[in-house]
Homo-oligomer: A and B are copies of this chain.
Amino acid sequence: MPRSEPGSRDGPVGIKQVAQLAGVSPGTVSNVLNKPERVAAKTRARVEQVIKELGFVRNGSAASLRAGHGRTIGLMMLDLGNPFFTEMARGVEDLMSEREYGVILCGSASQVGREQRNVRMLAEQQVRGVLVTPVSDSGESLARLRERNIPSVMLDHAATRSDQCSVTVDDVAGGRLAVAHLLERGARDIVFVGGPLTTRQNADRRAGARKALREAGCGTLREVIVDEMTPRAGHEAAEHLLAELPDAVFCANDLLAMGVLRVLLQQGVRVPGRVMLIGYDDIEYALASAIPLTSIRQPPYKLGRIAAELLLDECEHPGSHAHQQIMFQPELVVRESTS
Contacts and interface: CB of A to CB of B under 8 A. Distances in A.
Interface of A: 12, 57-62, 64-65, 70-72, 75, 80-81, 83, 86-87, 89-90, 93-94, 97, 100, 102-107, 114, 117-118, 120-126, 148, 230-231, 234, 255, 258-259, 261-262, 265, 284-285, 287-292
Nearest to A94: B107
Contacts of A107: 90, 93-94, 97
B72 A125 contact: yes
Nearest to A235: B288
Given A230-B284, A262-B289, A289-B289, 11 more contacts: A12-B148, A61-B70, A83-B83, A90-B107, A93-B105, A100-B121, A103-B106, A105-B105, A261-B288, A285-B285, A289-B290
A172 to B, nearest CB: 27
A287 B258 CA distance: 9
A57 B290 contact: no
A100 B104 CA distance: 13
A61 B57 contact: no
A148 to B, nearest CB: 7
A185 B212 CA distance: 51
A268 to B, nearest CB: 13
